[in-house]
Amino acid sequence: MGGSYEDDDEDHDNMITERSWEAISTLLCNKTSILETYNSNHTLEDLGYYFEGDTGNDLVPYLELNENKNKAEVARQKILQTHFSDDDDTSSNIQELLDMELEVIPTAIAWIGRPVSCWKGRSVSGLSTMYNLMRRLPDLFDLSPLKKQAGTKRRET
Amino acid sequence: MADANNQDDTKSLREAYKTLMIGDTTNQQDYDMDNDGGNVDDISDVDSVYDYDSRDDLDFDKNIFLRLKQNDLTITSTNIVLFTDKDVRCFNSIDWKEDGDCIANNTHLKKLSIILGPYCERQQLRYFFSSVHQNRSIEELEICTDHIDKEFGVFLIEGLCGHCSLVKLIIRRCENLGSIGCIALGKVLSYPKSKLKDLRLAEYELDDDGCKILCNALVGNSTLKKLRLSSNYHITSIVGLSTVLRHPNCTLTNLSLSSNGLNDEGLNVLGSALSGSSVRVLELSYNLSISSAGWRTFLNQLSHTSVHYLDLYSNKIDDSGLSTLANISTLKSLNLADIKLCTPAGWRSFFNSLQTSEIQLKKLVLSGNNIGDSGAAALGSSLSDMHTLKILKMSNMTHSYSRSINNMTSRGWVSLFTSLHGSNLDLVKFDFDSNQIDDEGMLHLLRSVSNMSSMKYLDLGHIHGVTAIGWRQALVGYLQVANANLNLVYLTANQINDEGMELLVRTLSNMSSLKSLCLGSNRLVTTVGWQALTDYLQSPNFALEQLHLCDNEYSNDTMFAFTSALSHNKTLKLLSLGGKL
């Protein structure tokens, strides 16, 4: 009969290794690039009652983010929090934005500045990222006519 | 020291409340008090299994407070719990005089839950109830407290008398209601403009005097439909309630008197009052002060009523009492779990009489009983003709009787399942958890349910007697005709091995309706079996929202495969891993 289901000894308490939890963390938010973060899983909300330890706790913010039904906002928050947080050196990621085609940049700016909708998880506004972007691309935000022309010229060249 | 005790009290109150709200999913599944008395269609409890933790919004944090102030459209049925201890979600941290408009002026809030502990400031409580009174949208108010004194009673009356939208009032765990609390509640109930339809006073220290005060207030009431007075252990007499039931204005359809101190005399009074009453849903589980003779008399009286739903879980009903149940022709839902005084002969007689009675059951609960081989055979015959039956619960049918000479044998189970296989029975929910059947029994069981195209919920967890070979054989048989509408499958703590898992996954891959799958504690499955499950995670028909895999063993490679397979998944919300069940 085997009866393996009865072997509830203490050894089975921690059957998920640290590496496995890391894999789940990557599933929820792949930090290797903005695109990979965007393509992460934004659906999984709950890992049951039995995940513990530092890695397990690290997963909680991602699981909470995933509770938001607006999955575009989930992806946005993960990208902002992972690649443009105040704690990190964001210059390389800002450069990624600067390297975009000029036609795309207004869309990116709108994406960064989108208002945060009401929801439970931790959220960032994107205003810090907007500030950093403005510092690097002042021409784009200057409303004076001359600067506007300069912007047009830059586009033509 | 006193403070420390108070903090402990509040903590235990909070924990108890959380247990009540989200802890015991089994109870929530089977919670039938919400049944409409005229339409006992509790098949909806299949769906509630998904929602067991949907009421998790327990904390009244600043975010919710602000959203209430802004009249946030999204807060409609959120439960808000206001603790009164010294933490950040403290009831007292809000100035209810200044900021009570967050509730008073809100027009979307439907439900409000409040836990009141020992640190509650009375003046603030008054302002709080005042804001509740001004609110015009709250339909359900739940109060969990340990004490209602004179002041509290006054605030309660001020806040709830004549409330324009309140239809459901729940008061839990009030350990010191006393006559003051009863009088206050009575005034709320008897207020001419009261719109209350549902009153639940569970886990009270309500005694006969308190019950009398409340019932006096209810005489002539024509709005209340549901009254729950369960777990009030000091109630022995319900003379007052019988007066309410006999009043021509009474419209009560649901009555719960479970876990009370009712005696034979009280039950007899109730039986007389129910005759000709509007009550359709009657919960009387766990009334251990009532004798077998008392039940016999009462169940005879019920044949003159129109009761549709009857919960008799864990009472001292004997064979004679059981036999009288077949005379209640209006029954649609019958809970007979843990009726331990009944013998297999009594069950056989009851099932036989069901065949000739006019009863058209939709739900039958027989869990925790030993019906014996003879009872099983009679049940099989009876079920063959029971075309209306949609829910059958038969969990733990032999667990407590393993040494009984009348215990059900493999032959009994096979006889039952063979009858089911040949019948037109089309169950929606079949709970067969924790039974001691063998390989042959499982083979017949799965064949019998494979014909049931309406099946949504199948619980076959903890079937320890079925070997890995037995599961494989049964699943091969089951593969022939798969149930296309299954929503939930429980196969927890079984001896399914890799081969069984592969067969199971092949079956499940055809079911786009499956939302929840429990495979926890199936320790015979190795990397090979989990690979089959990984393939399922990526199959086009995969629609699972919950996958329970607790208490299994996985290699790192298996976990990597799982996570890789889920990277683009858009349905799975709960993946339960690791730890014990």
Nearest chain A Cα distance for residue B93, angstroms: 21
pLDDT score at A28: 95
CA atoms in the 13 A half-sphere facing the CB of B24: 10
E runs forming strands in B304-399: 309-311, 333-335, 363-365, 391-393
In this prediction, residue B53 carries a pLDDT of 31
Tokens of A5: 């289901």
Q: How confident is the model at residue B21 (pLDDT cuts 50, 70, 90)?
A: very low
**In B377-490, beta strands by DSSP E:** 391-393, 429-431, 457-459, 488-490
Res. B63 pLDDT band, cuts 50 70 90: low
A144 touches B at CB < 8 Å: no
Model confidence at A4, in pLDDT bands (50, 70, 90)? very low
Which one is predicted more confidently, B291 or B189?
B291
- Tell me what pLDDT residue B72 has: 77
Smallest CA-to-CA distance from B475 within B512, B434, B506 is with B506
Residue of B495, B578, B580 lying closest to A16 (CB–CB): B578
pLDDT at residue number B7: 45
**Average pLDDT along chain A:** 74
Average pLDDT in the B183-187 region?
Answer: 85
Share of chain B above pLDDT 90, in %: 49
Mean pLDDT calculated for residue range B459-480: 88
- Does position B15 have pLDDT exceeding 60, yes or no? no
Model pLDDT, residue A132:
81
The CA distance from B546 to B574, in Å, is 5
Q: Work out the average pLDDT over B275-302.
A: 95
CB of A115 within 8 Å of a chain B CB? The answer is no
Chain B hits for A15, CB-CB cut-off 8 Å, are: 551-554, 578-579
What is the gyration radius of the CA atoms in chain A, in angstroms?
21
Structure confidence at residue B393 (pLDDT): 96
How are the residues of chain B apportioned to helix, strand and coil, as percentages rounded to the nearest 5? 40, 10, 50
- Output the pLDDT for position B333: 97
pLDDT score at B49: 28
Residue-level pLDDT at B30: 35
How close, in Å, is residue A152 to chain B by CA atoms? Answer: 41
Q: Identify the pLDDT of residue A96.
A: 77
CA torsion B302-B306-B310-B315 (nearest 10°) is -10
- Substitution target in A28, A44, A57, A63 with the highest count of B β-carbons within 10 Å is A44
Sheet strands (E) in B333-390: 333-335, 363-365
**How far is the C-alpha of A147 from the C-alpha of A140, rounded, in Å?**
8
**B313 vs A112: CA distance, rounded Å:** 59
**In angstroms, rounded to a whole number, what is the distance separating the alpha carbons of residues B275 and B307?**
10
Q: What is the pLDDT of residue B91?
A: 59
Nearest to B569 among A20, A41, A45 (CB): A41
Q: In this predicted model, what pLDDT tens digit does every residue of A76-87 receive, in sequence order?
A: 999 988 888 765
Tell me the pLDDT tens digit for each residue of B204-253. 777 888 888 889 999 988 999 999 988 887 788 788 999 999 999 999 99
Is the model's pLDDT at B300 over the cut of 80?
A: yes
What confidence score (pLDDT) does residue B71 get?
81
Q: How far apart are CA A19 and CA B556, in angstroms?
A: 7
Average model confidence (pLDDT) for chain B? 82
The region of weakest confidence among B70-84, B302-316, B321-335 is: B70-84
Q: Specify the 3-state DSSP secondary structure of B228.
A: strand
Contact of B353 with B326, CB cutoff 8 Å: yes
Test B575 with A41 for CB contact under 8 angstroms: no
* Each residue's pLDDT tens digit, A61-107: 899 899 888 899 999 999 988 888 765 555 667 777 778 888 888 88
Closest CA to A137 of A79, A95, A84, A92: A95
Instruction: Please tell me the distance in Å from B125's CA to the nearest CA on chain A.
Output: 27
- Side chain identity at residue B204, one-letter code: Y
**What integer pLDDT is reported at residue B424 of this predicted model?**
87
Instruction: Give the model confidence (pLDDT) of B2-11 as tens digits.
Output: 444 444 444 4
> Does position B12 have pLDDT exceeding 50, yes or no?
no
B122-126, B244-248, B315-319, B404-408: the lowest-pLDDT one: B404-408
Report which of residues B489 and B149 the model is more confident about. Answer: B489
pLDDT of residue B22: 31
Q: What percentage of chain A carries pLDDT values higher than 90? A: 18
The pLDDT value recorded for residue B561 is 95
∠ CA B464-B469-B472, rounded to 5°: 100
Q: Higher confidence at residue B551 or residue B87?
A: B551
Q: Inform me whether the pLDDT recorded for B104 exceeds 60.
A: yes
Check residue B517 and give its pLDDT: 96
Give the Cα separation of B172 and B229 in Å (integer).
10
Rg (CA), chain B: 26
Average pLDDT over residues A124-152: 71
> What confidence category does residue A7 fall into, taking pLDDT thresholds of 50, 70 and 90?
very low
The total of other beta-carbon atoms located within 10 Å of residue B95's CB is: 10
* Res. B348: pLDDT tops 80: yes
pLDDT of residue B404: 56
Neighbour-count burial of B47, counting CB atoms closer than 10 A to its CB (0-12 exposed, 13-18 middle, 19+ buried): middle
In this prediction, residue B293 carries a pLDDT of 96
Cross-chain CB nearest to A2 (options B493, B495, B554): B495
Tokens matching residue A149? 């022309």
Q: Does B574 contact A45 at a Cβ distance shorter than 8 Å?
A: yes
Helix (DSSP H) and strand (DSSP E) numbers for chain A: 9, 0
B334 against B235, higher pLDDT? B334
Confidence of residue A55 (pLDDT cuts 50, 70, 90): low
Higher-confidence position of A112 and A43: A43
| Confidence check: pLDDT of B477 > 50 | yes
Band the pLDDT of B122: cuts 50, 70, 90.
Answer: confident
Band (pLDDT 50/70/90 cuts) for residue B189 is confident
Confidence check: pLDDT of B376 > 50: yes
Q: Do A48 and B579 touch (CB under 8 A)?
A: yes
Task: Return the residue of A nearest to B575 by Cα.
Answer: A47
* Token couple for A98: 């600067």
Do B63 and B97 touch, CB atoms closer than 8 A?
Answer: no
Interface with chain A: mutation pick from B567, B568, B571, B581, highest number of A CBs within 10 Å: B567
Report the run of H or E that residue B282 belongs to, with start and end.
strand B281-283
The span from the first CA to the last CA of chain A, in angstroms, equals 79
Chain A: give the shortest CA distance to residue B120, in Å: 27
- Which pLDDT does position B261 carry in this prediction? 87
To the nearest whole Å, the CA of A104 is away from the closest chain B CA by 26
Strand ranges, E, within B121-272: 140-145, 168-172, 198-200, 226-228, 254-256
